[in-house]
Structures are given as structure tokens and as C-alpha cells.
A and B are shown apart, each in its own frame.
Chain A
């Protein structure tokens, strides 16, 4: 079945960068948007950004623009989310999720999720 598998937990110091991967299985990788959603401990869900794996175009919420990058590797069906200038308040579980169909422009609700990657930012 459709599966998204993320890389393992990371511990980073303030100011560092982190790169989280999300590998897709059992569907046509370039046909669906992939999104990133984060959840700080004890808090709700926060949408961060998305990528169209077909063309590679990515969009970030304004809050993360300038610090966040999303790229994809179509040879390995993997999406990467990198965030720089990490702060303690970036400590969160980071999820990737499958969104809408790229060519059809279907709405972006998230029908498959990765298991999450805990990123801890601490000095």
C-alpha cells in the first residue's frame, strides 16, 4: 500500500541546519504533491510547505520562507526538507504527507503520512 518512510531523529544545535528525507512507496511518485507538516510537543499541526515532484516546484508558508527548502529526487522517489538557522522553537515532529494529484489539480488533503521525524534543537 501507499507508504511514506522518513529518516531518523535528529539533534541539532541552534543555528544549525537539518535535512529530513521522505521516501515514497507503492504509487507514482510524480503524480502527487508531497507536503511537510510539523507539530511542536503538545501542540497542533502546522503546514510548512509542499513540492510538486513532477516539476520540482516548491512553496513554503511565509513563516518558513528563507529558511526552508524542499527538493526531490525522482530516481529514488524521495523528497527532502531542509531547514536552516534552527532555533529551539523549531523542536518538533516533522511529517511528510501525500497531497493532491499534480496534473489534475485536486485539493490538497493528506491521505498518507510518514511516521514522523523528531528534530530537537538544543544547545
Chain B
């Protein structure tokens, strides 16, 4: 099974900051990776798929990049509404797996 190791587990940042979250796959998954945002009490929301493609309606301050088996989600110009927990997910093979999550707090 493919393991997804996500870091950091939590981050606190101020409005306007740049935030980066990393996910490392235990084996090659090409670009079969998605990023989600989840707010308390809500279902996750797809932000980015295919490692770097922005889902329709997602603000352009979110971006994703792949380097080998490392994937990075970047938020440029953090906004108050960006709080929540972020998860990566590999869609390369069964069983599809998620990272452990990164809790983003706005200072």
C-alpha cells in the first residue's frame, strides 16, 4: 500500500503570509495526487488535482507542484477563510490513501 506522509501536522500563520504544506508518497505516483481543504463539521473540498491543476472556483492563491514523490501545496497571500485542515490523497492505486492532515490556524 502507498503511504502518504504529510508535514507539518499543524501550522499557524498570519493573513498575507505564504504557507507551504508537503506530502511525500512512499512510492512513485506520477501526478496522481489531490489536495483537499476541510473545515470543522464539513465535508472535504477538492482544491487541486493532478498535483497542480486548480479545481474550478478555487482561488488562484492556491497552487501545487510535484518533485518526484514530493508534492507541495502553497497558499500565497493567506486569507482568513483559509483556516482548516488540509489533506493530500494519492489516486494512483488501491487502496487510495490520504495524508495525516495539516491543521492551518490563522494567527
Segment among B14-22, B71-79, B91-99 that sits at the interface with chain A = B91-99
Say whether A95 contacts B94, CB under 8 Å: no
Say whether A47 contacts B97, CB under 8 Å: yes
B32 within 8 Å of A by Cβ?
yes
Per-residue A-contact encoding for B63-107, CB less than 8 Å = 1, 0 else: 000000000000000000000000101011011111111000000
Q: A44-B87, A116-B43 are in contact. Are A107 and B49 (CB under 8 A)?
A: yes
Say whether B43 contacts A115, CB under 8 Å: yes
**Shortest Cβ distance from residue B8 to the other chain A in the assembled complex, whole angstroms:** 14
Residues of B contacting A109 in the complex (Cβ-Cβ under 8 angstroms): 34, 46, 49, 89, 91
- Interface size of A in residues (CB-CB distance below 8 Å): 21
Judged by DSSP, the binding face of B is loop
Complex Cα–Cα for A115 and B55 (A): 19
- Closest residue of A by beta carbon distance from B29: A107
Say whether B43 contacts A113, CB under 8 Å: yes
Complex Cα–Cα for A1 and B45 (A): 15
A111 within 8 Å of B by Cβ?
yes
Say whether B98 contacts A110, CB under 8 Å: no
Per-residue A-contact encoding for B43-62, CB less than 8 Å = 1, 0 else: 11110011000010000000
Other A-B contacts than A44-B87, A47-B89, A109-B46, 4 sampled, CB-CB below 8 A, are: A35-B96, A45-B98, A47-B98, A107-B91
